Amino acid sequence: MIEDLRCQQSASAGILHRTLGGLPIVNGRRFKFRFPSLIFVLLSPYLVLRLAYVQKMLFAIVILDIPFQLGTHLFYRDADAVSGALAGLSISATTIALLGLYASWFIRRLENRTPKSSESRKFNLPLLCYLGFTALSVLVARDIRLSCFELFLLLQMYLVFLYVANFVRTREEVLFVVSFLLLGCLIESALMVALAFSNLPSGLWGPVHLRVDAQAHGGHSRIGGTVGSPNEAGAYLSLALSLAISLLFSDTQRKYKRLAAAVIGLGGAALILTFSRGAWISFVSAIALFYIALWRRYRGSLRAPIVTLAILLISYLPLHKAVEGRLLADDNGSAKSRIPLMNLAFRIIADHPIFGVGSNNFSTAMDSYVTREFQTGFLYTVHNKYLLVWTEVGAVGLLAYLAFLFGVLRKGWACWRFNDQILSPLALGFTAASVGYMVHQTVDIFHDRAVTQLLWLVAGLLVAMHGILRAQPAEFDPFSSIT
């Protein structure tokens, strides 16, 4: 065995010497470019993508890009965005990182070093059906261009799901994903709190777009940060905070719990600063479900819940008057404006119940169904994700989307029932947060990249966690091995 290894190393050294030996030597006069150097340049991407730390770096970019939204939209038109459609073809850091990750996967597949995963294929069916019906809806769309924008985005999100479900295989890798989710949330929360006190306007700041919605009559500004609209930022924070709270109950090292505590403190303040009532309700629903499930199983010490509530209370107290104003004061018809939009959606559904009007085409179809109540009212894409899917993709598309969501809950609950000291509390946190997400989708659009990417990544992670728990029980994968 040792002699074989020595022979392999000698052979590798010989190949490297033959490849690099002809590289030009730089002297003081001129630079000679030879054919072997061209080969080396062409092979560089192949050599780099085989490195494990490069693959981890690309994966971290996919996770961190959820809050920071580094990218652009090709073929963007303001007229599309004003009506609530996805405006433009999304090209982002996630797009580039996915190209690298799947190129790396292809290289490893050629080398026969990638194990197969049957678990993810079982869970892919609802997503594949949803993607299929979304693609078919292009045939009935008035504006095929808009449909292609959403289809391209969903294909990228499916690749995120597929990668996470297939390539996260150990508890260490789950904690890698969780750590970067929380790290991104911590940085984003600090930025949002800073924006609340800096009086900076919305706009491009370097490679990122900052969103600050100033309110009329001197009201508190609603902070969206780099995530997008305040409602999207609130949805993102509600899920990340639920994850942070669940991490406090997981049998992990202190460094993870310190990170979680920091996220709860700053993230709680950032969530308040979004002034998104839907996100507040989503977060409260998730935490209530999490603690109820935890109490039913353990009926143990109240120390961790008390600490969590204390941290959240510290975040709430400086802003309690603003929160009370948002909940109790006049919202200038913001909540009531959603009802006419839902009625508008039902009128469109009545004419197109099966196949819909085409993905991302609500804004193009709604003009034919506008009534007098919109002469002075708010005309926009319907603020209800389920009605939006039904309107655009049809009843079969809605059933596929609901099957996907309930599949996420089923997989998360199955992980919780394994009673694993590390993964089960995290799975419960993800499951409770997904329920909160589903509640929030009744009053918001939920079709932008940040919220979609986060949900589909969590879905893939739960599939991966379930596979780990089935194949590697806790006694065979001790936490002490995690560094």
AA identity, residue 425? P
Q: How many angstroms separate the CA atoms of 128 and 138, rounded?
A: 16
Predicted local confidence at residue 379, as pLDDT? 86
CA distances from 47 to 12, 42, 53, 103, 379 (A): 14, 10, 12, 11, 53
Query: What pLDDT score does 172 carry?
Result: 94
Q: What is the pLDDT of residue 411?
A: 95
- Output the pTM of the full model: 0.85
The angle, 0 to 180 degrees and rounded to 10, between the axes of the packed helices 277-298 and 254-274 is 150
Which pLDDT belongs to residue 132? 95
Least Cα distance to 55 among 14, 113, 1 occurs for 113
How far is Cα 260 from Cα 162, in angstroms, rounded to an integer? Answer: 27
Distance of alpha carbon 183 from alpha carbon 255, whole angstroms = 12
Residues 67, 227: contact at Cβ < 8 Å?
Answer: yes
With a cut of 70, which residues of the chain have pLDDT below it?
1-47, 112-123, 216-219, 300-304, 307, 315, 329-333, 375-377, 473-483
* DSSP string of 258-297, one letter each residue: HHHHHHHHHHHHHHHHHT-HHHHHHHHHHHHHHHHHHHHH
Q: What is the pLDDT of residues 110-141, one digit of tens each?
A: 776 555 544 445 567 999 999 999 999 999 99
pLDDT digits (tens, 9 = 90+) for 372-398: 777 666 788 999 999 999 999 999 999
